[in-house]
Structure 1
Amino acid sequence: MSQQSAQKSAMGKWAFKNWYPVYSPAVFNEVLVGEAPAEEAGKLVNRTIGVTLFDITKDLSHLTIKLTFQIDRVEGDKAFTRFKEMELARDYIRSLVRRGSSKVMVIQDVTTSDGAVLRFEVLAVTTYRCSTSRKRGIRAAISSRLSEVTANADFATLVRDAAMGKLSISLMEAGKKIYPLRKAEVMKLKVIRYPTKPGEAKKAEITVAQTQ
């Protein structure tokens, strides 16, 4: 097959696809985040889409927060998603770790009040280089606070608080009681298991910037 014929064949395949608007999960206010092509609606289910929190809030400080959503249902011509993963941009993470400081990592699975299991990866960066024993203390303090704040929280609340930085502030406060910290961030959040208990979908209290 010639290159020209191959191009025509590829164009023909796209001609038969429909484009479906894709919306963020209820916890992120169900805003339009993109479009996805498919020959039929059912083929969209389980497909993922990557955006930044900025795409939802229009807040420039959220450009470094990457979100992955997974399409879990299609209603009419609209595709709706569920939260799958959050991760900070690598360039931003690299900017946090400076010479003369120490890095402390905490990886911990938590179970929400509605039966979901979430895996947190927390990065803490000290103001000055510290000893191994201090690192252990920081790790223990952050782990304890994470267990405390997630004990009675549901899936939507934890995802919202992690994305909007509320959880990072709480973990920072716990860690700096052991040793001065320059920063503490939820570096990554991944869904291991979705909620298993019935509950009403909750929309996040996320402020979306108004455009003129």
Structure 2
Amino acid sequence: MVFIMAKKKKWYEVEAPKPFENKVIAEIPASDPKHLIGRTIEVNLIDLIPDTNKFYMKLYFKITEVDTRCRTEFIGHDYFRERIYRIIQKGIKKISSIEDITTKDGKKIRIKSITIVGGKTPSSIMKKIRADISNTLKEIANKATLNDILNMLISDELERTIKDNCNKIYPTNKVEVYRSEVLL
């Protein structure tokens, strides 16, 4: 009978990036710290900020460095599926938009959004709204860093800006940026 000796594992604290004041978001066991680099951590936004109105938002962080603590960087966000289903109702039209933008600090981000308009909206207006969303996101990205865009996502400032610009074309009911991914 052969016995295999298991390596003793050590617990490592995982901390959120600077916009969240380096809060500890998880603890992970590992026998070697090199195995932690590249892991993805999913955290509900309610665990990072005390705003209970944003219970439906999940943030994703990737471990980039390991010392005594694991340092992370933001790689995306997502909404609970039920949140998206609740927005879409009978008798309305949905405008989906997927945009790849580049921030001022050179990071590429894919932003997915839904805009809700009235049910009798003509398709020509919907095309103009989709083009306006694209232009608005590109303008914002040229002036902002990744951390600025993260703060805009959390505070709904990005959605408000898009909605204000779209309302100049046609009245919109709701704008939701439901997913973002930092592209490599």
CA distance in structure 2 between the aligned counterparts of 1:182 and 1:127, rounded to whole angstroms: 7
How high is the TM-score relative to the length of structure 2?
A: 0.92
Pick the aligned partner of 1:19 from 1, 11, 31.
11
**2:113 aligned with 1:115:** no
Partner of 1:157: 148
How high is the TM-score relative to the length of structure 1?
A: 0.80
Q: Secondary structure of the equivalent of 1:95? A: helix
The amino acid across from 1:107 in the alignment is I
Deviation at 1:60, TM superposition (A): 1.1
CA distance in structure 2 between the aligned counterparts of 1:39 and 1:134, rounded to whole angstroms: 57
Deviation at 1:122, TM superposition (A): 1.4
Partner of 1:100: 91
Off by >2 Å, runs of 4+ in structure 1 = none
**2:30 aligned with 1:38:** yes
Deviation at 1:152, TM superposition (A): 1.8
CA distance in structure 2 between the aligned counterparts of 1:59 and 1:129, rounded to whole angstroms: 36
Counterparts of 1:19-168 in structure 2 under 5 Å?
19-76=11-68, 78-168=69-159
Deviation at 1:170, TM superposition (A): 0.4
The amino acid across from 2:59 in the alignment is L
Shifted more, 96-105 versus 140-149: the winner is 140-149
Percent identity for Structure 1 against Structure 2: 29
Q: Which runs of 5+ in 2 are unaligned?
A: none
- Partner deviation per Cα, 1:31-82 (whole Å, 9 max, x = no partner): 1111111112121110111011111002211111111101101122x11111
Deviation at 1:28, TM superposition (A): 2.4
CA distance in structure 2 between the aligned counterparts of 1:174 and 1:21, rounded to whole angstroms: 42
Deviation at 1:29, TM superposition (A): 2.0
CA distance in structure 1 between the aligned counterparts of 2:155 and 2:10, rounded to whole angstroms: 34
Q: Secondary structure of the equivalent of 2:70? A: strand
Q: Secondary structure of the equivalent of 1:57? A: coil
Shifted more, 143-152 versus 85-94: the winner is 143-152
Counterparts of 1:130-209 in structure 2 under 5 Å?
130-193=121-184
Structure with the largest fraction of strand: 2
Aligned residues: 181
CA distance in structure 1 between the aligned counterparts of 2:98 and 2:120, rounded to whole angstroms: 21
Q: Which runs of 5+ in 1 are unaligned?
A: 1-8, 194-212
8 Å Cα contact 1:122/1:185 also seen in 2: yes
Q: CA RMSD in A?
A: 1.7
